[in-house]
Amino acid sequence: MCSKLLFFLVITGFVTSSATDDVYMPYIVHMDTSAMPATFSTHEHWYESLVSSIGSSRGKPPRLLYVYRHVIKGFSAMLSGSHLQQLQAMPAHLATHPDSYGTLHTTRTPSFLGLNKQTGLWPAGKFGNDTIIGIIDTGIWPESKSFDDKGMPPVPERWRGACETGVEFNTSNCNRKLIGARSFSKGLKERGMNISEIYDYDSPRDFMGHGTHTASTAAGSPVCGADYFGYAKGTAVGMAPMARVAMYKVLWATDTFESAATDVLAGMDQAIEDGVDLMSLSLGFPQTPFFDNVIALGAFAATEQGIFVSCSAGNSGPHAYTIFNGAPWITTVGASTLDRGYAASATLRREGNDTTEVLGLSFYPESILIFDDPVYYGKGNTTKEICSSNSLDASEVAGKILFCSYSNKSDAFTQMDEANRTSAKAVILVTDFGPFFRPSDFYFPAVALGLKDGEIVKDFMTKIVNTTVDIKFQITFSDQKPAPQVVYFSSRGPYRITPGLLKPDVVAPGVNVLAAWMPNREAAVAGSDYLVSDYRLLSGTSMSSPHVVGVAALLRAVHPGWSVAAIRSALMTTAYTTDNTHGPILDMTTGVAGNPLDYGSGHIDPNKAMDPGLIYDLSVQDYIDFVCSLNYTQEQVRIITRRSNYTCTTSNFDINYPSFMVILYNNVSTQTFKRVLTNVQDSPAVYHAVVEAPIGMNVTVEPQALSFGPKGSTQAFTLRVEVDLGGMRPESNYIGNYGHLSWIDKEQKHVVRSPIVSAFAP
């Protein structure tokens, strides 16, 4: 196989208020469409009439921006405070929210995930053939080889999308791989943002790189010989390399790097209209109620149309209650590490050819010759040993290899800066920061050693004055242990809006992922030189979501009749929680075992997800019943469901989700869950329950065995959790206890596993 971010859009929250001033700004308006007079043939004509009928004593007239056909019942418009008051007085008006703005929120991954050309999910799913993935992001660089359509069949006839023209973009930029590209910027422009060639392309073309990277991660065509300046050499390929890509550009590199909620909503609305099968958003809004969150609103409408929606969980970890995009109809994805590492080797030599060799972390993007070069080490002088700021004499250090001892008073970045200031040829530094380095940190030739190897080198050099070293950069290895780990920045549960629903759902690769980049945009820095590349290593939950949406495309190709909930359930119940040392998945921040608030059900396992045995299914009505349980007003429920005559069959917060969450508060420590499992095997089967529960958590399951008929048959069960609160106190991560429920068939071929978690209320 041939085989390159860290962005997460955070946007300020909606405010619902009756404006009294005459500030002219964009608003999102929710309408009761059942009140549309019969004289209007379309909602659009009705909205145009309503907006034009609003009087204006002074200033600019009201103006329609977008009409939303799927994500909400309503439109967005430029309104003043007096316009808004008139609109709110109309009987058909439900709610209005001012537009919101914000700033921004990465291949060995196919093999790490077990995807193989000969067996498993890849060939079974025909590599995602003819599935259409909508990417809501910063645009796309269509010339990238990752979007080459060689060998792809004609575009599916069901596709209703288009390839729009704009600055340095036209219809010829689309092909059988990139089948659609649109951009949405009305809301941003109305705020006076300058979208031009100086800051961005006023078109679907990507200026920032984020959208190109995420799109190629999800569905990039195989590209041999890809690398990041000599690191990660191989074939770059997306999770679903035969899937189609449709880009919806909603995020812009203006002078303040912002996006408008009106534009995000318009992009999702258009993706539904165009006929995408799946949608990925590596961006998010603050943790506001679902009726205030445009991604939650758009994803609900998409789910209703059978469109799978994957979203990044956010980069606000490692603290509890930091999850974004936690609605139950969204698959929420956290970030984990890979088993691939990047390094430089240092071979130290002293008199008599006595040598020692160590391997240290490095991403330095150039191959420079360091052979038998002298090492400078200020032994005997603590200040010089640790290379603190301005501690060294450039006349002593220039042209040599600087060695810096570990110190909690001089961090690795200070030491690298000191090496640069004194014109050292390279630096070998000792640090405990290793896992947290990013490729962009290595602007100077540096080898970062861990504490143990640092002591070996220090001891080696202490005994002999004249030490020399050979350094080789651009080393990649694929057996890094332990892996995966939950990365420090990945947002953690519980989800503040609905803490009784465990989020994230799963984790997926999100650290140093190699994916497509733009050849005219900085990819690395070496000294004072800015380097460019077609592929780049980047990190973030932004990278995790496209991994999951790509795997979901493969599952949809294998099981075209599966619902959105079935796909998510298969991913969750087959996820694993052990690393490549056979120990528990670790939390990178603490170095100890993680828990479901960190990784949800676990790390995705695509091949197992193809054959989960049983699934927890959900219908749109289940989601409506869930919303009905949230103490929202009738109007707020109507905003989410887009129905004037919605029905709550029951007010049920305990929906048929593949995880179990008990929130501990006011001495409440017991909860009963009701679930229904569906057989997705081709034959009848019998499953029995196996519970793993820690001391202090008592779990009972009734019945203990489930006998399923043919494919599609269902069985219900009840799970009761009792938590002993004696001596328990909320800790920094808020977790109380956790265990697992597994349903295992007689042949032990299928293990349908769900986490059971107790956590303290915030």
pLDDT tens column, 201-240:
999 999 999 999 999 999 999 999 999 999 999 999 999 9
pLDDT in tens, 732-746: 446 778 999 999 999
pLDDT the model gives residue 13: 28
Kindly report, as residue ranges, where domains of CATH 3.30.70 are found in the chain.
9-103
Q: Cβ(502)–Cβ(755) under 8 Å?
A: yes
**Annotated catalytic, 137?**
yes
Least confident of 78-82, 460-464, 594-598: 460-464
Q: pTM here?
A: 0.93
Looking at domain 341-477, does it have CATH number 2.60.40.1930? no
H-run or E-run covering 637: helix 634-641
**Annotated catalytic, 41?**
no
pLDDT the model gives residue 191: 79
Single out the catalytic residue among 542, 544, 754, 758: 542
pLDDT in tens, 82-115: 899 999 999 999 999 888 765 444 467 889 999 9
pLDDT the model gives residue 271: 98
Average pLDDT of span 170-178: 97
pLDDT the model gives residue 156: 96
CATH of domain 9-103: 3.30.70
Average pLDDT of span 569-583: 97
Which one-letter DSSP state was computed for residue 254? -
Average pLDDT of span 627-652: 91
Tell me the two tokens of residue 95: 């709610």
CATH of 109-339+491-609, one of 1.10.1530.10, 3.40.50.200, 3.90.340.10, 3.30.1490.20: 3.40.50.200
* Band (729; pLDDT cuts 50, 70, 90): low
Which one-letter DSSP state was computed for residue 128? G
Kindly report, as residue ranges, where domains of CATH 3.40.50.200 are found in the chain.
109-339+491-609
**Annotated catalytic, 453?**
no
Q: Tell me how far apart the alpha carbons of residues 431 and 485 are, in angstroms, rounded to a whole number.
A: 20
pLDDT the model gives residue 460: 87
Q: Cβ(540)–Cβ(315) under 8 Å?
A: yes
Average pLDDT of span 148-168: 96
| pLDDT of 185 strictly over 50 | yes
pLDDT the model gives residue 256: 62
Query: What b/e string do you get for 586-623 counting C-beta neighbours within 10 Å, with b at 16 or more?
Result: bbbbeeeebbbbbbbbbbbbbbbbbbbbbbbbbebebb
* Band (188; pLDDT cuts 50, 70, 90): confident
Q: Which alpha helices (DSSP H) does 422-540 contain, by range?
A: 451-462
pLDDT in tens, 365-391: 999 999 999 999 988 788 889 999 999
Single out the catalytic residue among 210, 547, 603, 750: 210
- The count of other CB atoms within 10 Å of the CB of residue 540 is 28
Show Cβ contacts of residue 323 under 8 Å, excluding neighbours closer than 6 positions: 287, 313, 314, 332, 491, 492, 493, 494, 495, 496, 503, 504
Q: What are phi and psi of 112, to 5 degrees?
A: -65, -35
Class of domain 614-618+656-760: mainly beta
Q: Cβ(211)–Cβ(249) under 8 Å?
A: yes
Average pLDDT of span 531-535: 95
Single out the catalytic residue among 99, 137, 534, 622: 137
Kindly report, as residue ranges, where domains of CATH 2.60.40.2310 are found in the chain.
614-618+656-760
Q: What are phi and psi of 453, to 5 degrees?
A: -65, -30
* Band (162; pLDDT cuts 50, 70, 90): very high
The dihedral over CA atoms of 87, 88, 91, 96, expressed in degrees to the nearest 10, equals 100
* Band (21; pLDDT cuts 50, 70, 90): low
Position with higher pLDDT, 286 vs 444: 444
pLDDT the model gives residue 103: 43
Q: Which alpha helices (DSSP H) does 161-310 contain, by range?
A: 186-190, 210-219, 261-274, 294-304
